[in-house]
Amino acid sequence: MLALVVMQERPDLEEERSAIVVGLAEMKNELKQIEDRILLKLSSSQGSPVDDIDLILTLEGSKVKSEEIKAKVEAAEITESNIEVTRRLYIPVAKRAQILFFCLADLAFVDPMYQYSLEWFIQIFIQSTVQTEKSGEIDERVETINDHFTFNLYSKVCQSLFEKNKLQYALLICARIMLDAGTLDPHDWMFFLAGGMPKKDIPNPAPSWLPVRAWQEILSLGNLPVFKDFAESFSENAKGFKQIFDSAEPQRMPLPGEWNSKLDDFKKMIVLKCLRPDKVTNAIQQFLVLHLGQQFIEPRTTDLEAMFSDSNSTTPLIFVLSTGTDPAADLYKFADKNKMTKRMMSISLGQGQGPIAENMLLQSNCHLAPSWMPRLEYLIDNIPIDTVHKDFRVWLTSAPSPSFPVSILQNGSKMTVEPPRGIKANMLRAFTGQVMEYNNYLTSGKPKVQSFKWLLFSLCLFHGVCLERRKFGPLGFNIPYEFTDGDLRICISQLQMFIEEYSDVPFKVLSYTAGEINYGGRVTDDWDRRCIMNVLADFYKPEVMNGDYSFDGADRIYHQLPEETAIIDYETYIRTLPVNDSTALFGLHSNADISSAQAEAYSSLSVLLSMQPRAVGEQATNQEDVTAQLAQSILELIHQPRGAKEIARIQKMYPVLYQESLNTVLVQEVIRFEKLLTIIHSTLKDLLKALKGLAILSEKLEKLLNSLFTNSVPDMWASKAYPSLKPLGAWVSDLQARIDFINNWIQNGIPTSFWISGFYFPQAFLTGCLQNYARRKAIAIDSISYKFMVLDTEPKKAPKEGCVIHGLFLEGARWNPKALKLDESFPKELYIDMPPIWLIPHQSVSGDENVGYHCPVYKTLKRAGVLSTTGHSTNYVLAIDIPSDKPESHWIKRGVALICALDF
């Protein structure tokens, strides 16, 4: 890279340097030949060398020549060192290029489509040096090249990145530049990405407003030297920190006390991540503006014109698609604009299409078929440069796939195609696309057109709501379904057909076809189907056929338009809608925005963590020392495996009894925990041996080492463990608590209240309780179900029937202990501890109705799990009826659920 930049900036120096290098080589070669000739003369001369006139003349001539060459070599070396001084001034440019190239290379860890070649990179590098303004001052010139190249490369790469990855890429560039310059501490950077384990246990000084997670994060700050006393000083400055916690823009607020002057911008961002993780994305943007420039956070758009102009006949153009997108319409429009419509051919690959596609490619576009990819790669590599037409282009479309040929990705011109974000953008897309197909009907003046128009607007809004609920994660849907324009198109078609066919609008039929078949056909989770039907009920009902109807209640941002409104005016109205959607339209609490922003921040940091290079040299030694200490502390903290004798003793204490099914549950739990403890202890001991050099550091142990260093649960432990989203530190504490719960049961007998979150397999425990009741009452177990009663406190004695459970967390709502029913969450309170619940077995009677809200219970916050043979998610435990004075649909749209274990 240094040679390239000097060649561009000072071609005279580079030419002179090249000439000197060649000259020096030639002169040194000549000296070698002279030496060889003298040695040959000496070895072949006979008698006294003093008498050999030819040898004496050769020696004299060689001496003169070698003195001459030595003088030239010294002069050339001085000139070369002078040139080298000038070249060294351009080292910062080469260094920056090296940093940026490896940022680019690491993107492949995020998505297999993010691959770029060195040739493509060099092309942009040379382009940037040519395009920048010249300057007499080399330092100024170097800075100009670096700034221009950094942004130019970022812009080019952004056109091939999905929206969610653009900010991550910008932060990666910024961090690597600062790490290289020494303005960012590598320990701070790793802690920001991965977090840490608390070193001390200090009580939360402000439990009334500071969440448990935030305090745990603050305690773990003690791992960084500058934050050694931060936890202790937090209580002294609690008032100032509360102002930051309550602020709408905490990222702009100064820290209280000495911390504002003591910490740099990045360390302040670490504090913000502890207190308000939902604002980390905003803080990253602010940080990038300060250290890279405003242009790095502004939306980057690409068009086909720019993509086309950057390509040539042998460069394939690749659309990287996300689900629900199709660039075909834009491509045909672009072809028409360039008068190429008749000369454009396209094909979708599938069985038997390979030869047709090859023939089409030889004559003159392709969709991904993995088996044909090697052939495609060969054909593109062998496009004849000399004979190919200048207007020839290969356009390829593919969803992200590891099967896509790497060489095509590296050398092609890529562009991502994503569906629009936000209700406004989705509504505009619908009204400028599918709705315009019904323009003739809408302007026909038929009697039912007005009903169609109102329900059409309502349906398009429902489509936007379904798409945008995904950004709220499990609060929106357990599984993020990819609803498409096709789902909306068929619903519009059915809407027109049924309106014309029936005298009254058949809402029941419309709701069934849209909710159960068209949109519901994609839904694989029963609880999501319940949600989508309840959301649809707000958009398909007689009340929406009214010019005064408001979809978001008193806010009246999203509302129907008067009867006489023309369809073109709907488009004008949609353009006035806000860019940021209100949670009220989704039926969600305002806290859902915080949950969504937090999830986005943690996801971004997790992606950046996956791109971190392996440590080398001194840094690697330091990493190994830190990890060895951590491994040792985990070994000391976590209980030893029980061993076969101890398990046999427990089985004897709690034998299989007809009267007590919970004995079996306990023994099964003990065996499961035994397997987990065994693998934890054995792998940690092996790792410590390997770090001391007493054993081989295998690939498995290396993965374990990296997981421990990045504060994540190793895969080999997770595969034997219960579902959990916790980072390593919290996971270890949680495991200890679970084993303590089991030990307490073993030592003191069946508990009065069961910590439901402590079970490996809670479903077995719930079935065991039902089995006890069924055997005692001598009735069939499949005729029994649970009734529920929320208690104030844990009971002193176990109930005669059923069991009491505790340890659940309520998400999306709160329990009102005074009114004894569900209530709206307090602001910023994302999860609350649910009081103990008494599960009372009773014989089900047909016609039994739910009391209040039928609330699902999940093992983790992710909610989604593998669908079992029963059709239930493996993450799902049971459903509990919670008293409520609001309609059940209110809480369904809120996404309210009970969770066994949080992610901290």
Q: How do residues 77-106 score in pLDDT, each as one tens digit?
A: 777 676 777 778 888 888 999 999 999 988
Q: Is the pLDDT of residue 437 over 90?
A: no
Amino acid (1-letter code) at residue 748: N
Q: Is the pLDDT of residue 41 over 50?
A: yes
Q: Where are the domains of the chain?
A: 1-161, 168-296, 304-417, 423-588, 611-749, 751-903
pLDDT per position as a tens digit, 471-490? 888 888 888 888 888 888 89
Antiparallel, parallel or unpaired: β 814-816 and 821-823:
antiparallel
Q: Cα 539 vs. chain centroid, distance in angstroms?
A: 32
Class of domain 423-588: mainly alpha
Backbone angles phi, psi at 542, to 5 degrees: -55, -30
State the chain's mean pLDDT as an integer.
Answer: 82
Matching residue, tokens 């492949």:
108
Give pLDDT, residue 484.
Answer: 82
- CA–CA distances in Å: residue 211 to residues 208, 215, 216, 590, 833: 8, 7, 9, 18, 12
N- to C-terminal Cα distance for the chain?
Answer: 45
- Residue 897: which pLDDT band, with cuts at 50, 70 and 90? very high
- CA–CA distances in Å: residue 14 to residues 4, 5, 131, 385: 9, 10, 20, 31
Rounded to a whole number of angstroms, the CA Rg of the chain reads 35
The pair of structure tokens assigned to 523 is: 């839904």
Q: Is the pLDDT of residue 348 over 70?
A: no
Q: Is the pLDDT of residue 364 over 50?
A: no
Give pLDDT, residue 616.
Answer: 46
- The SS3 call for residue 37 is helix
Show Cβ contacts of residue 851 under 8 Å, excluding neighbours closer than 6 positions.
788, 881, 883
- Residue 369: which pLDDT band, with cuts at 50, 70 and 90? low
Burial class (CB in 10 A: 0-12, 13-18, 19+), 573: middle
- Rounded to whole angstroms, the Cα distance separating 3 from 8 reads 9
- Residue 336: which pLDDT band, with cuts at 50, 70 and 90? low
- 271 vs 73, which has greater pLDDT? 271
The pair of structure tokens assigned to 428 is: 């505009």
pLDDT per position as a tens digit, 711-752? 888 888 888 888 888 888 888 888 999 999 999 988 888 889
Q: Is the pLDDT of residue 699 over 90?
A: no
- Rounded to whole angstroms, the Cα distance separating 536 from 469 reads 13
Superfamily of domain 304-417: P-loop containing nucleotide triphosphate hydrolases (3.40.50.300)
- CA–CA distances in Å: residue 269 to residues 167, 591, 603: 16, 22, 16
DSSP assignment letter at 263: S
pLDDT per position as a tens digit, 127-171? 888 877 777 787 888 888 888 889 989 988 888 888 888 899 999
Q: At what angle do helices 138-158 and 91-106 cross, to 10 degrees?
A: 10
- The SS3 call for residue 49 is helix
Give pLDDT, residue 363.
Answer: 46
Give pLDDT, residue 47.
Answer: 67
Q: Where are the alpha helices (DSSP H) in 45-117?
A: 53-88, 91-106
Class of domain 751-903: alpha beta
The answer to whether 708 touches 731, Cβ cutoff 8 Å, is: no
- Residue 49: which pLDDT band, with cuts at 50, 70 and 90? low
Q: Which residues on neighbouring strands pair with residue 395, listed in sequence order?
A: 317
The answer to whether 253 touches 223, Cβ cutoff 8 Å, is: no
- Rounded to whole angstroms, the Cα distance separating 77 from 30 reads 17
Q: Is the pLDDT of residue 373 over 80?
A: no
The mean pLDDT value for 371-392 works out to: 73
Q: Which residues on neighbouring strands pair with residue 787, listed in sequence order?
A: 840
Cα-Cα-Cα-Cα dihedral sign, residues 144, 150, 151, 156: positive
- Rounded to whole angstroms, the Cα distance separating 228 from 743 reads 35
The pair of structure tokens assigned to 99 is: 């940093």
Burial 91-120 (b: 16+ CB within 10 A, else e): ebbbbbbebbbebbbbbbebbebbbbeeeb
The answer to whether 799 touches 838, Cβ cutoff 8 Å, is: yes
Show Cβ contacts of residue 710 under 8 Å, excluding neighbours closer than 6 positions.
190, 193, 194, 609, 612
The answer to whether 856 touches 477, Cβ cutoff 8 Å, is: no
Q: Is the pLDDT of residue 301 over 70?
A: no
The answer to whether 273 touches 216, Cβ cutoff 8 Å, is: no
- Residue 366: which pLDDT band, with cuts at 50, 70 and 90? very low
pLDDT per position as a tens digit, 533-580? 999 999 998 898 888 888 887 888 888 888 888 888 888 888 888 888
Amino acid (1-letter code) at residue 173: I
Q: Which residues on neighbouring strands pair with residue 873, listed in sequence order?
A: 867
The answer to whether 681 touches 638, Cβ cutoff 8 Å, is: yes
The answer to whether 809 touches 833, Cβ cutoff 8 Å, is: yes
